[in-house]
Chains A and B, each alone.
Chain A
Amino acid sequence: MGMTMTQKILAAHAGLESVKAGDLIEAKLDLVLGNDVTTPVAVDVFDKAGFDRVFDKNKIAIVLDHYTPCKDIKSAQLCKTARDFAKRFDIKHFYDVGQVGIEHALLPEKGIVAPGEVIIGADSHTCTYGALGAFSTGVGSTDMAAGMAAGENWFKVPSAIKVVLTGKMGKWVSGKDVILHLIGLIGVDGALYKSIEFTGEGVWELSMDDRFTIANMAIEAGGKNGIFPVDEKTIEYVSRRVDREWSAFEADEDAEYDQVVEINLSELKPTVSLPHLPSNTKTVDQVAGLPIDQVVIGSCTNGRISDMRIAAEILKGRKVADGVRCIVIPATQDIYMECIKQGYTQIFIEAGCAVSTPTCGPCLGGHMGCMCEGERAVATTNRNFVGRMGHVKSEVILASPAVAAASAVKGCVACPCELD
């Protein structure tokens, strides 16, 4: 029986000829990641267990992105714990305020993750790097500590859902609409414990940024990972960034899948997820006009340069509606700089947006845009759970950057086509 792409990567890292769904294996890790929320817990358990060395200081990334620049004294203490640990073991990929970006935008940009690698991160959106054809999954802090100590960890080999993409996305449709549509189809636990393997001719039409956005939200369908095949776009992206050997894996022709889902990209419309589950999807035209108080454009899902570009195109020469706060957060310093060079930052400020240094901040209700009771946001983030962006009785509607920008201008949920 053939193997899926994920199974092949796991087999190669476990030193096995083949694996099958359900096998418990121990696989070598190419990278172990943590942030300012999860690393301090990992440091605590690492120290309590009595470890005094890390497996490879070049294969650990510590990225202080969640509550930074520190929102309060407790957050500053968490960062210090992570910073001291990074210093103690001379961690190569340590990113602090001034260099830091949102981890899942930053690591691919810096060439720290590559196709064919096995990556664990103490952050659920670590599945983002599947866009590059890597096996990449979110874990907890104890897993991070174990990974840092041993350079390997245990995995249950997942079965897979195959998502076959055909056609080409229309105007105002992006990777965000694809993944929201998929989550709406299969549900928030539709891919529980499973891989989501994207394939089909539609994949070749997707930009790398679209693929990052799609893989990023595999977890929102319960997925262990989301993964894309390696093509010329991947190679072009990676060749400018990665300076080490890497491998491309392909699923076997006779690989088995639990389920096959077909999505014709040309039939998709701009899509949103209403409170309080990412699977609660509607097309924008079904809910247009719903009043809002805030817009957030950014996050590990949609804070990349193409997201900034589409938002700027829509906001250019327009104003954020009265009574709406629009917060724009380029995900990394390089993206921020590019926004300045391209004139996007000026467009945002002239439109009346607040432009922030890279941070996860508002996505998880941390800082930089928390909401009070009764408020509603359209956000390009990834979760709309109860209380996610602040008060228990505040609401988050998930959307693409194009829909978020158009909504900022109209003061309600809106399709950019309404501005044409």
Chain B
Amino acid sequence: MVSGKVFKYGDNVDTDVIIPARYLNAPSPEELAKHCMEDIDASFATTVKPGDIMVGGANFGCGSSREHAPISIRACGVRCVIAASFARIFYRNAINIGFPILECPEAAAAIQNGDTVSVDFATGKIVDETTGETFQAVALPPFIEKIVEHNGLLPYLKARMEKGEV
């Protein structure tokens, strides 16, 4: 269960604005975090606080395959992203690094910038504490849940390879 203040953005938030290519040669998460969302929200990186929550519209994370995008959002202290839908590479990348994302069109539409929202990852229940509204996120398939439980794809793969499953 986490609770935090919402930073809300629109549809088609692309990975070029999440972390512009001019900073991709700075591979440390902390360095990337300084420039996260810079091109659409210049004050984000300095105002976001650990535990805050990002909300986006449809097709969140479209564009480049750069894993630097979810890495930089997480490094800012954001605990999860809620969106109406996710671009598929961003979806994979977030799951693969063990960063929680929730697909919920109703929540993405209703939650407003600056609201306080709590999320229960175990059940997918989202509560807008500011308005009292509750929402239910789309459940993760069991296979993907296992990746999340292992805190990412590589630890899960390693465990399976050690058991001879792969």
Query: Could you say which of A74, A123, A192 contacts B87, with CB atoms under 8 Å apart?
Result: A192
Tell me which residues across on chain B come within 8 A of A41, comparing CB atoms: 27, 67-68, 71
Interface residues of B in 81-107 (CB under 8 A from A): 85, 87-89, 92-93, 96-97
Q: Determine if A387 and B20 form an interchain contact, defined as CB atoms under 8 angstroms apart.
A: yes
Q: Complex Cα distance A139/B27, Å?
A: 18
Interface residues of A in 3-57 (CB under 8 A from B): 24, 37-38, 40-41, 44-46, 48-51
Query: Could you say which of B39, B58, B67, B166 contacts A387, with CB atoms under 8 Å apart?
Result: B39
Selected interface stretch from B44-52, B114-122, B128-136, B152-160: B152-160
Q: Determine if A364 and B89 form an interchain contact, defined as CB atoms under 8 angstroms apart.
A: no
Tell me which residues across on chain B come within 8 A of A121, comparing CB atoms: 65
Q: Is B3 an interface residue (CB 8 A)?
A: no
Q: Is B24 an interface residue (CB 8 A)?
A: yes
Q: Determine if B153 and A143 form an interchain contact, defined as CB atoms under 8 angstroms apart.
A: yes
Q: Complex Cα distance A152/B65, Å?
A: 19
For the A-B complex, the count of residue pairs with Cβ-Cβ distances under 8 Å equals 139
Tell me which residues across on chain B come within 8 A of A143, comparing CB atoms: 92-93, 96, 153
Q: Complex Cα distance A71/B26, Å?
A: 13
Question: A356 to nearest B CB, angstroms?
Answer: 17
Q: Determine if A38 and B88 form an interchain contact, defined as CB atoms under 8 angstroms apart.
A: no
Interface residues of B in 1-23 (CB under 8 A from A): 12, 14, 16-17, 20-22
Tell me which residues across on chain A come within 8 A of B21, comparing CB atoms: 37, 364-366, 388
Tell me which residues across on chain B come within 8 A of A122, comparing CB atoms: 65, 67
Q: Is B164 an interface residue (CB 8 A)?
A: no
What 0/1 pattern do residues 70 to 85 of B give for CB contact below 8 A with A?
Answer: 0100000000000001
Q: Determine if A277 and B12 form an interchain contact, defined as CB atoms under 8 angstroms apart.
A: yes
Tell me which residues across on chain A come within 8 A of B40, comparing CB atoms: 386
Q: Determine if A146 and B65 form an interchain contact, defined as CB atoms under 8 angstroms apart.
A: no
On chain A, the number of residues with a Cβ less than 8 Å from chain B's Cβ atoms is 57
Tell me which residues across on chain A come within 8 A of B143, comparing CB atoms: 24, 154
Query: Could you say which of A140, A224, A385 contacts B63, with CB atoms under 8 Å apart?
Result: A385
Q: Complex Cα distance A143/B93, Å?
A: 8
Q: Determine if A124 and B20 form an interchain contact, defined as CB atoms under 8 angstroms apart.
A: no
Q: Is A254 an interface residue (CB 8 A)?
A: no
Query: Could you say which of A46, A139, A156, A365 contacts B65, with CB atoms under 8 Å apart?
Result: A139
- Contact (A152, B67) CB under 8 Å given A140-B92, A224-B88, A385-B14: no
- Contact (A192, B88) CB under 8 Å given A78-B27, A386-B39, A387-B16: yes
Q: Determine if B65 and A123 form an interchain contact, defined as CB atoms under 8 angstroms apart.
A: yes
Query: Could you say which of B14, B66, B154 contacts A146, with CB atoms under 8 Å apart?
Result: B154
- Contact (A72, B25) CB under 8 Å given A49-B157, A277-B12: yes
Q: Determine if B64 and A124 form an interchain contact, defined as CB atoms under 8 angstroms apart.
A: yes
Q: Is B36 an interface residue (CB 8 A)?
A: no
Q: Is A145 an interface residue (CB 8 A)?
A: yes
- Contact (A189, B62) CB under 8 Å given A45-B154, A386-B40: yes
What 0/1 pattern do residues 309 to 348 of A give for CB contact below 8 A with B?
Answer: 0000000000000000000000000000000000000000
Q: Is A242 an interface residue (CB 8 A)?
A: no
Tell me which residues across on chain A come within 8 A of B68, comparing CB atoms: 41
Tell me which residues across on chain A come within 8 A of B27, comparing CB atoms: 40-41, 44, 78
The residue on A at minimum CB distance from B84 is: A189
The residue on B at minimum CB distance from A149 is: B157
Q: Determine if A383 and B63 form an interchain contact, defined as CB atoms under 8 angstroms apart.
A: yes
Q: Is A287 an interface residue (CB 8 A)?
A: no
Q: Determine if A124 and B89 form an interchain contact, defined as CB atoms under 8 angstroms apart.
A: yes
Tell me which residues across on chain A come within 8 A of B92, comparing CB atoms: 139-140, 143
Q: Which residues of A contact B (CB under 8 A)?
A: 24, 37-38, 40-41, 44-46, 48-51, 66-67, 71-72, 74-75, 77-78, 121-124, 126, 138-143, 145-146, 149-150, 152, 154, 156, 188-189, 192-193, 219, 222, 224, 277, 364-366, 370, 383, 385-388, 390, 392
Q: Can you offer 7 A-B residue contacts whose CB atoms are under 8 A?
A: A37-B21, A37-B25, A37-B66, A38-B67, A66-B24, A156-B141, A390-B22
Given contacts A149-B161, A192-B87, 17 further A-B contacts (CB under 8 A): A44-B27, A49-B158, A51-B158, A78-B27, A126-B65, A138-B65, A142-B152, A142-B154, A149-B157, A188-B12, A192-B59, A364-B16, A365-B20, A370-B22, A385-B14, A386-B16, A388-B21
Q: Which residues of B contact A (CB under 8 A)?
A: 12, 14, 16-17, 20-22, 24-27, 39-40, 58-59, 62-68, 71, 85, 87-89, 92-93, 96-97, 141, 143-144, 152-155, 157-158, 161, 166
Nearest 7 A/B pairs, CB to CB: A140-B93, A189-B59, A49-B154, A142-B96, A74-B25, A140-B67, A364-B21
